[in-house]
Amino acid sequence: MGSSLGAQLFWMITIGLTIGYASHYLFLKYSISLGLSIGTGIVGAVCAGLISYHLAYSLPLMFAVLGSLTFLFIANAFLSQED
């Protein structure tokens, strides 16, 4: 029996927060702002995680990690600003 949707959603948000915060410091010079980085990580994790949960795939939290990384890569590639 799988975890409830509420528990899965909590962990998706936590994954998005963590990856968004870490990516701001990994990209250093070419990163988007901290708030936008965290927000993008959360949106990517929740979108990908909920889609995989709805489609009944196993490991929706792994899809949340991949979704968060994908959204952050796209945001950093197209929205980054040089100082």
Write out the chain's pLDDT in tens, 83 residues: 567 889 999 999 999 999 999 998 888 777 788 899 999 999 999 999 999 999 988 889 999 999 999 999 999 888 866 65
- Confirm whether 11 is domain-assigned: no
- Confirm whether 47 is domain-assigned: yes
- Confirm whether 59 is domain-assigned: yes
Domain that holds residue 71: 33-78
- Confirm whether 66 is domain-assigned: yes
- Confirm whether 39 is domain-assigned: yes
Burial 27-53 (b: 16+ CB within 10 A, else e): eeeebbeeebbbbbbbbbbbbbbbebb
> From CA 44, how far away is CA 36, in angstroms rounded?
12
Helical H segments across the chain, by residue range: 5-26, 34-54, 60-79
- Confirm whether 16 is domain-assigned: no
- Confirm whether 7 is domain-assigned: no
- Confirm whether 17 is domain-assigned: no
Per the structure, the count of domains in the chain is 1
